[in-house]
């Protein structure tokens, strides 16, 4: 095995898994027979799993079952393939919600390092890895740490994720952890509200990938009636985020916004 350490950063989102070069749906489902096609198929310990497609349900923590472990293997395989490697010593850099960091850090490290050496296949290609170590970073802070030196005297960071919204004030270029807040009302709750309204008003749902596309680009070829509902619910979600920030005592008129 190559002794060079491969550092792989992974964002284990409840909606999307992300590495520096890859983004895929946080979904994994066992295939009970040998698959005919191997695109996005993980083979691990004699079982086959389809990765991506439908997002899995949100659970209390990310270590309740093997889902995020299997998704981690898929993410590692995608990154190693991009680097032209099939064997590697891997250092994982991962994140957890800001205010849950201390409570969940050790369990997440144990979860990801439960097997020191791992052999598996992804898309019918074999991979052999050694997990050298795992570093866990607080989400939100990790996303802006390199930008803090250039921040104003008082800056409020709001990280809107799939399941949580992290709020972190940066005062005199230093995060004030005593006032950090994590709110479990991220984009998944918005998408659920959208589909509740779509069913109520039009008796049909919209695929989450289409909703995410509208969130990103503000446009879609979807039917006008559905688009109007989606747009209205997204605007309502934004208002709720703004009001949550105010409820926690932050006046955005006195804080730098970007």
**Predicted confidence band at 89 (pLDDT cuts at 50, 70, 90)?**
very high
pLDDT beyond 90 at 82: yes
pLDDT of residue 251: 78
- Helix axis angle, 224-247 to 208-217, nearest 10°: 70
pLDDT beyond 70 at 102: yes
19-44 core/surface letters (b: 16 or more CB in 10 A; e: else): beebebbbbbeeeeeeeeeeebbbbb
Mean pLDDT of 57-80: 95
Q: How many CB atoms sit inside 10 A of residue 108's CB?
A: 21
This prediction has a pTM of 0.85
pLDDT beyond 80 at 2: no
Torsion of CA 45, 48, 49, 51, to 10 degrees: 100
pLDDT of residue 196: 97
pLDDT of residue 219: 85
More confident residue, 201 or 246: 201
Retrieve residue 77's tokens.
Answer: 């395989």
pLDDT of residue 75: 98
pLDDT beyond 60 at 257: no
pLDDT beyond 60 at 258: no
Q: Rounded to 5 degrees, what angle do the CA atoms 60, 61, 63 make?
A: 140
pLDDT, tens digit, 9 for 90 and up, residues 140-152:
888 899 999 998 8
Q: How far apart are CA 54 and CA 16, in angstroms?
A: 10
Averaged pLDDT of the chain: 92
pLDDT beyond 80 at 1: no
Total residue count of the chain as it appears in this document: 258
pLDDT, tens digit, 9 for 90 and up, residues 22-48:
999 999 999 998 899 999 999 999 999
pLDDT of residue 131: 96
């Amino acid at each position: 095995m190559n002794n060079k350490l491969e550092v792989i950063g992974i964002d284990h989102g409840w909606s999307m898994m992300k590495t520096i070069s890859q983004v895929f749906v946080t979904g994994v489902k066992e295939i009970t027979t040998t698959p005919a096609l191997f695109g996005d198929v993980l083979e691990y310990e004699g079982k086959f799993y389809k990765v991506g497609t439908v997002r899995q349900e949100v659970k209390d923590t990310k270590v309740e079952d093997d889902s995020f472990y299997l998704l981690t293997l898929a993410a590692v395989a995608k990154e190693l393939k991009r680097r032209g490697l099939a064997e590697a010593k891997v250092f994982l850099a991962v994140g957890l919600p800001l205010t849950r960091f201390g409570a969940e850090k050790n369990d997440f490290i144990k979860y990801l390092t439960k097997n020191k050496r791992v052999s598996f296949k992804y898309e019918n290609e074999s991979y052999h890895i050694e997990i050298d170590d795992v570093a866990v970073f607080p989400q939100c802070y990790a996303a802006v740490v390199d930008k803090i030196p250039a921040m104003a005297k008082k800056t409020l960071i709001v990280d809107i994720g799939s399941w949580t919204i992290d709020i972190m004030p940066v005062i005199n270029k230093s995060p004030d952890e005593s006032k950090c807040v994590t709110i479990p009302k991220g984009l998944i709750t918005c998408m659920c509200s959208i589909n509740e309204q779509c069913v109520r008003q039009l008796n049909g749902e919209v695929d989450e990938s289409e909703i995410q596309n509208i969130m990103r680009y503000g446009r879609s070829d979807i039917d006008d009636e559905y688009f109007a509902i989606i747009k209205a619910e997204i605007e309502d979600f934004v208002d709720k985020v703004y009001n949550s920030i105010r409820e926690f005592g932050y006046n955005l008129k006195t804080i730098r916004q970007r």
